Structure 1
């Protein structure tokens, strides 16, 4: 059966320019590439969103693999617009919340904002509705996996919200499940799905085997 590997981007600069990858994040990506290579894993297709943190994670990962296809940049794998979602909920300015460096307060606000966003039918501000977001990411992944051969693997480097929504769809969970999954994702965490003719089945969620060593414990990050 074909398999889809969803990788969350490496660690960004949480309190600074979020759409970037830190030095530690680049190391996370390198270790993941080495892990894939050691497994002998090969990808028939490779995708990322157009966000810098997504594309850079894929580029750093590919440097440590002998053979990977040229990546396709597909903006449909971009994260939801957190700034618009937070602003519409009245829970604060995204940049200001991150600049404070209080991750707990930030993700508490994000959770509440996502719940409010999923509950409304219209799009907040100039953003997209929850339904639009769902349609965008599910359509993108369906197209990425179309026409695969039985032993093909597909790699998609994306973000936590996209991964959470796709996994929730695979296991039949609703919006709340997608939000909970989103907020659990780790930087360079790997989620594996088996690609069937009409369904995808979850095999593994949010694994970080490339970081599960005593000398890499410091590299386990969520943001």
Structure 2
């Protein structure tokens, strides 16, 4: 069997003028994740990340901790959906969501339900169906690239990882949202693939981070 380690990016810079960059804690989380994977004797043949800065910075931190000299591959299929676009499309957005992560989460879930309904696709750069289709393709491509016994590390974001887990369990929007809600920064989701198919082995492992360093945004 081949193994895919799907890692959420480290803590980003919520509440600042540029969310798409790691905080100092996020950089620490990334290096700790790499050291953890090295201790588990994970030796990936490739490292992949989406186009977002926070994903690239996390992959760099993982490589530092892992001691890997691999050149990362970029696959836009692992990009996150545009969260601020979802909340911005609401007719009555709560302005406190820009600074309060709990309020933002509630607004995001309202926005995601509207997005996934398919009734307002013209309001978004990417529809929910288009989002899930590209994530499905990215997973299929990653699995097809691996030979027997190989491993790959992919750095992505909560929405894409949550959808991958929901898909492999045969779930839909509700399962996706439940996973999306609890995905931890640098949480590790393990997937195995082989002749019998592709299966979810574990979701959101984060025991490598001490409780004080566990974050959700």
Gaps of 5+ in 1: none
Match of 2:216 in 1: 222
Match of 1:53 in 2: 54
Aligned-pair CA distance for 1:201: 1.0
Q: Does 1:209 find its partner at 2:207?
A: yes
Query: 2:92 & 2:205 partners in 1: Cα distance?
Result: 31
Contact 1:170 1:200 in 2 (8 A): yes
After superposition, the Cα gap between the structure-2 partners of 1:87 and 1:124, relative to the gap in structure 1 and judged at 3 Å, is farther
User: How many residues get paired?
Assistant: 216
Query: 2:195 & 2:127 partners in 1: Cα distance?
Result: 28
The structure 2 residue matched to 1:188, chosen from 186, 189, 202, is 186
Query: 1:87 & 1:175 partners in 2: Cα distance?
Result: 20
- Following TM superposition, the consecutive aligned residue runs of length 4 or more in structure 1 with deviations greater than 6 angstroms are none
Gaps of 5+ in 2: none
- The DSSP-based 3-state class of the residue aligned with 1:203 is strand
Query: 1:97 & 1:197 partners in 2: Cα distance?
Result: 49
After superposition, the Cα gap between the structure-2 partners of 1:174 and 1:11, relative to the gap in structure 1 and judged at 3 Å, is same
Match of 1:39 in 2: 40
Query: 1:97 & 1:174 partners in 2: Cα distance?
Result: 29
TM-score (norm 2): 0.93
Query: 1:199 & 1:20 partners in 2: Cα distance?
Result: 35
Query: 2:66 & 2:57 partners in 1: Cα distance?
Result: 15
Query: 1:69 & 1:97 partners in 2: Cα distance?
Result: 42
Alignment of 1:141-156 (within 5 A): 141-156=139-154
After superposition, the Cα gap between the structure-2 partners of 1:147 and 1:76, relative to the gap in structure 1 and judged at 3 Å, is closer
Query: 1:138 & 1:168 partners in 2: Cα distance?
Result: 11
CA RMSD of aligned residues (A): 1.7
- The DSSP-based 3-state class of the residue aligned with 1:167 is helix
Match of 1:75 in 2: 76
Contact 1:19 1:51 in 2 (8 A): yes
TM-score (norm 1): 0.91
- The DSSP-based 3-state class of the residue aligned with 2:54 is helix
Which is worse superposed, 58-67 or 128-137?
Answer: 58-67
- The DSSP-based 3-state class of the residue aligned with 1:18 is coil
Match of 2:125 in 1: 127
Match of 1:2 in 2: 2
Alignment of 1:79-90 (within 5 A): 79-90=80-91
- The DSSP-based 3-state class of the residue aligned with 1:3 is strand
